[in-house]
């Protein structure tokens, strides 16, 4: 794997994680989102 491929893969994964996190916070019930956020931070 080249450095370019690795960079693209890492960027894609980072964007995907950001989208998932945003979706969970946007659509999940507030209590569930808060609990998930607390687990993520801790």
The model's pLDDT over 1-42, given as tens digits with 9 standing for 90+, comes to 799 999 999 999 999 999 988 887 777 666 776 787 788 776
Per-residue pLDDT, 38: 82
Q: What is the pTM of this model?
A: 0.51
Contact 37, 25 (CB under 8 A): yes
Q: How far is CA 27 from the centre of its chain?
A: 14
Per-residue pLDDT, 3: 95
Closest CA to 26 of 15, 18, 40: 18
For the chain, the structural domain boundaries read: 3-41
Per-residue pLDDT, 26: 76
Alpha-helical runs (H) found in 1-42:
3-27, 30-41
């Amino acid at each position: 794997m080249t450095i370019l491929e690795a960079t693209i893969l890492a960027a894609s994964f980072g964007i995907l994680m950001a989208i998932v996190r945003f979706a969970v916070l946007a659509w999940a019930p507030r209590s569930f989102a808060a609990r998930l956020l607390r687990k993520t931070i801790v």
